[in-house]
Amino acid sequence: MDTAAYGNLLDSLRGVTWPSRRVALAGMAGSHLSKLRGMSAEFTEYRPYRQGDDPRRIDWKLLARSDRFFVRLTSDRAALGTVVVVDASASMGFPESGLGKWSQACLVALGLAAVAHASGDPVGLVLAGAGTARAVRMRSRRGVLGEMARVLASIQPSGEAALARLLPALARTPRVALVSDLLDDEEATRGEARRLEVSGTEVHVVHIVAREEAEGLPGGFLAVDPERPQVRRTFSEAGRTAYVESFASWRLSTARAWRASGAAYTEVMSDEPAHRAVRRVCSQRRSPHR
């Protein structure tokens, strides 16, 4: 991966924030709304004074006006640790010339990590597949993005992702961003993601789709699944329309299923500008199904 591309991406994402879709648990000070009431300047409400309240929180002006004692309440902010899980299975290395999906996945993953890191959130990286367990421990220090970039650059997609077996280890992570083409055992992965959601983890799914997969390749050829070589189908111009419809239907049903499970789902084409994709992911609001 070209470091210049990363530089352009990070420049494009300057100022982008990735607010949490839910109230963060109490923790380090950060930029996300916390469940606790704190001493910040952000006023939220008045409450009648009760015995035991800090007298410094009494609003004296209101007392002068109303002759009653009220305590001024404000919101607090907490940090949200984010782990980006990147699918590095063989299917992500398509097309082989240019590694379109893998490049896009790296850019989106690093972009999301940069946005979270810019908000003061600790970020980490987990790679699924490629025959190796590579990870970058969740940290908020300055060099973590560079380390993530180096790890991503050293990997060639291969093998199987086994995302479903990997997700349970992230149960205590506040936020998980899953960057994958979901061509592995998608149903099992979704099930584990649902468990994470239930346990309080905020799950974002970034579905990477190659333009060549969505539209099919020109001419006739024998399509071979790189992760399951026994799956061989003849791709012909006569069957192109049926293939496009079948794949589109699957993507639609997958999006619905992920959203129904409570995750934030975003489909990203491999030829879409990465910064735009990151912005779309970061702008995902609370799922209407929750």
Site residues for other proteins per CB under 8 A: 90-91, 94-97, 181, 183, 210, 213, 217, 220-228, 231-236, 238-239, 242-243, 246-247, 250
Provide, rounded to whole angstroms, the least separation between the CB of residue 145 and other proteins: 29
Q: Which residues of 154-178 are buried (b: 16+ CB within 10 A; e: fewer)?
A: ebebbebbbbbebbeebeebbbbbb
Q: What are phi and psi of 123, to 5 degrees?
A: -125, 150
Provide, rounded to whole angstroms, the least separation between the CB of residue 209 and other proteins: 9
Looking at the Cβ atoms of 9 and 183, the one nearer to other proteins is: 183
Separation between Cα atoms, residue 176 and residue 123, nearest integer Å: 10
Provide, rounded to whole angstroms, the least separation between the CB of residue 106 and other proteins: 17
Side chain identity, residue 284: Q
Looking at the Cβ atoms of 49 and 243, the one nearer to other proteins is: 243
Provide, rounded to whole angstroms, the least separation between the CB of residue 161 and other proteins: 12
User: Residue 249: is it exposed, middle or buried by C-beta count within 10 angstroms (0-12/13-18/19+)?
Assistant: exposed
Helix (H) or strand (E) holding 83: strand 82-88
Length, in residues, of the chain: 290
Provide, rounded to whole angstroms, the least separation between the CB of residue 236 and other proteins: 6
Looking at the Cβ atoms of 89 and 287, the one nearer to other proteins is: 89
* Per-position DSSP letters for 25-65, written without gaps between them: PS-S--SEEEEEEEEEEEEEEEEE--TTS-GGGB-HHHHHH
Looking at the Cβ atoms of 14 and 233, the one nearer to other proteins is: 233
Separation between Cα atoms, residue 226 and residue 128, nearest integer Å: 16
Provide, rounded to whole angstroms, the least separation between the CB of residue 153 and other proteins: 21
Preceding omega of 95 cis (within 30 degrees of 0): yes
Q: Which residues of 101-122 are buried (b: 16+ CB within 10 A; e: fewer)?
A: bbbbbbbbbbbbbbbbbbbebb
Looking at the Cβ atoms of 225 and 271, the one nearer to other proteins is: 225
Looking at the Cβ atoms of 10 and 268, the one nearer to other proteins is: 268
Of 124, 257, 89, the C-alpha closest to 186 is 257
Alpha-carbon distance values, 199 to 194, 196, 203 (Å): 9, 5, 11
Looking at the Cβ atoms of 42 and 225, the one nearer to other proteins is: 225
Provide, rounded to whole angstroms, the least separation between the CB of residue 234 and other proteins: 5
Provide, rounded to whole angstroms, the least separation between the CB of residue 232 and other proteins: 7
Looking at the Cβ atoms of 31 and 189, the one nearer to other proteins is: 189
* Contacting residues for 226 by C-beta, under 8 A, at least 6 apart: 90, 91, 93, 94
